Amino acid sequence: MNTLAERDQAVIWHPFTQMQTAPLPIPIVRGNGSVLYGADGREYLDMVSSWWVNLHGHAHPYIAQRVSEQLNTLEHVIFAGFTHQPAVELAERLLKILPQNQAKVFYSDNGSTAVEVALKMSFQYWHNLGKPRRKVVALENAYHGDTFGAMAVGERNAFTAPFVPFLFDVDYLPTPLTGQETDVLKLAETLFTDDVAAFIIEPLVQGAGGMIMYEPDVLDQLIQLARRNGILIIADEVMTGFGRTGRLFASDYLQQKPDLMCLSKGITGGTMALGVTTCTQAIYDVFLSDNKHKTLFHGHSFTANPLACAAALASMDLLLLPETQSNIQRIAEQHAQFAGRLANWANVSSIRQRGTLLAFDLKVGEQTSYFNSIRDVAYAFLLERGVLMRPLGNTLYLMPPYCTTNEQLLYSYQQVDELVNTIPF
């Protein structure tokens, strides 16, 4: 009998993976808290929250119980013409914790679909008003997902190269990094014209683009500029939502609230796939009409799946516990202390932090692309020591589940220290 990894290799095509050169995948048999257990008995500290989705640890008993109860009651029902308790309750509770101007909740399946829906709402908003607008403004280094609309508003790079001819035109503003705000604002004045339908951003932290961080103040100014021409603001909080940045949402740091918000990843505590797009009453109202052509014709088979909604409700219960909120602050403090120590290394640069997210760059001379082997060396070094981190090129980051203990954090920091210390760059 072949091993599970060999059977996998015979039949499965993995995401973001060059299958010719990829090592055999590591079979995981169970998870508990921040620890993943391998089939060979090895343990891994999940410092990437399993691709940024996990909030409360793996196989959380409370979420498991709530999903299990729902599974025995109603597993799924068509969501056009029908509704159910978990979907209604989740929408009500989301609107209570989101910025106050958010009024309606549209369900879909994942982060990319949440972005697609926000883009379609934006384009159709202008279409329904009889003043079609065709352009979107996004930020350089943006990542909004892997479907076509989401790719179109993301950074054009090696990942999207084969598809560029099929992506709609987008104007890009440089990320408004500290020190570059004035230049970006100046350029924004020229880009925010009255044929721009929407301005889409990952507020404060650009995740996949390299955990690039910028300040709320400049984003507030950009949003104000965009609003002069009525441009809709889409906050893609798929990664930053649900406590990651130290507040419930990155938009909570802003004075200017977005018109549309995209949520996924942590929304179910990382248990199940679920996407949410929310919008203001003003946007919603533009779709109300006796004319059927003004309808938002969008939906997915598993829209508002009751199991996913139940998982999201359970995760929200846990997230709002004082204990969880203090864990988020505790992790932020531990990160800040470690960041202070990291600053002593000559081969570490651009140390940056927002809440439970800590990132820094390894200096590696001129080759700094994603394909740099430093990434593979660092990944293997840390994995060998039982720490799962997944560097973005030469950018290393820690994004632990909120239940991660100080001991587990310290162990991870020590392995990073050793990596920085022992590998000659």
Ligand X SMILES: *Cc1c(COP(=O)(O)O)cnc(C)c1O
Among 108, 112, 303, 334, binds ligand X (CB under 6 A): 112
Is 110 a residue that touches ligand X (CB under 6 A)?
yes
Partnered with residue 348 across adjacent β-strands are 362
Contact flag: residue 202 with ligand X (CB under 6 A): yes
Cα(162)–Cα(15) distance, rounded to whole angstroms? 16
Query: Which one, 276 or 348, has the nearer CB to ligand X?
Result: 276
- Where does 314-424 show beta strands of DSSP type E? 348-354, 357-362, 387-388, 395-398
CB of residue 68 to ligand X, shortest distance in Å:
24
Q: In angstroms, what is the minimal distance from the CB of 345 to ligand X?
A: 28
- Degrees to nearest 5, angle at CA 254 with 248 and 257: 90
In the range 152-171, which residues lie near ligand X by CB under 6 A? none
111 is in an annotated binding site: yes
Q: Which of 54, 108, 124, 264 touches ligand X by CB under 6 A?
A: 264
Compare residues 136 and 342 and give the one whose CB is closer to ligand X.
136
Strand partners, 196: 135
CA pair distance 241, 263, nearest whole angstrom: 7
51 is in an annotated binding site: yes
Of 233 and 419, nearer to ligand X (C-beta) is 233
Q: Are strands 43-46 and 387-388 parallel, antiparallel or unpaired?
A: parallel
Residue from 31, 86, 99, 207 touching ligand X (CB under 6 A): that is 207
CB of residue 352 to ligand X, shortest distance in Å: 17
- 176 lies in the site for ligand X, by CB under 6 A: no
- Which parts of 208-227 interact with ligand X (CB under 6 A)? 208
Give the nearest distance from C-beta 288 to ligand X in angstroms.
28
Q: Which of 48, 98, 238, 388 binds ligand X (CB under 6 A)?
A: 238
Rule CB under 6 A: say whether 236 interacts with ligand X: yes
Q: How far is the CB of 189 from ligand X (least distance, A)?
A: 26
Nearer to ligand X, 57 or 145 (CB): 145
Sheet strands (E) in 343-394? 348-354, 357-362, 387-388
Q: Binding to ligand X by residue 107, rule CB under 6 A? A: no
Told to check if 111 binds ligand X by CB under 6 A, we report yes
Closest C-alpha among 248, 203, 281, 321 to residue 94: 248
User: Which range of residues in 82-90, 109-117, 299-307, 322-330 is near ligand X by CB under 6 A?
Assistant: 109-117
Name the minimum Å distance from CB 152 to ligand X: 13
Binning the chain into helix, strand and coil, the percentages to the nearest 5 are 40, 20, 40
Answer yes or no whether residue 397 interacts with ligand X by CB under 6 A.
no
Structure-token match 């799962």, residue found:
388
Min CB(341)–ligand X separation in Å: 28
Pick the binder of ligand X from 105, 115, 235, 254 (CB under 6 A). Answer: 115
- Which residues ranging from 126 to 155 are in contact with ligand X (CB under 6 A)? 143-145
Q: Does the annotation list 251 as a binding residue? A: no
Mention every residue, 6+ apart, whose C-beta is less than 8 A from residue 293: none
Render 180-235 in DSSP notation, one character per residue: -HHHHHHHHHHH--TTEEEEEE-SSEETTTTSEE--HHHHHHHHHHHHTTT-EEEE
Instruction: Work out how close the CB of 115 gets to ligand X at its nearest, in angstroms, rounded to a whole number.
Output: 6
Question: Cβ-closest residue to ligand X?
Answer: 111
Closer CB to ligand X, residue 33 or residue 400? 400
Please give the single-letter amino acid code of residue 203: P
Phi, psi for residue 226 in degrees, rounded to 5: -65, -35
Token reading at 150:
């989401």
3-state secondary structure of 267: helix
Q: Using alpha carbons, list the distances in angstroms from residue 415 to 167, 342, 412.
A: 41, 12, 5
Whether the CB-CB separation of 208 and 112 falls below 8 Å is answered with no
Which CB, 56 or 144, lies closer to ligand X?
144
# binding residues, ligand X (CB under 6 A): 14
Query: Shortest gap between Cβ of 3 and ligand X (angstroms)?
Result: 28
Of the pair 46, 202, the CB lying nearest ligand X is at 202
Instruction: Give dist(CA 255, CA 11) in Å, integer.
Output: 50
CA distance 124 to 411: 50
Closest distance of CB 101 from ligand X, Å = 21
Q: Which residues are near ligand X by CB under 6 A?
A: 110-112, 115, 143-145, 202, 207-208, 236, 238-239, 264
Please enumerate, by residue number, every residue annotated as part of a binding site for pyridoxal 5'-phosphate: 111-112, 236, 300-301
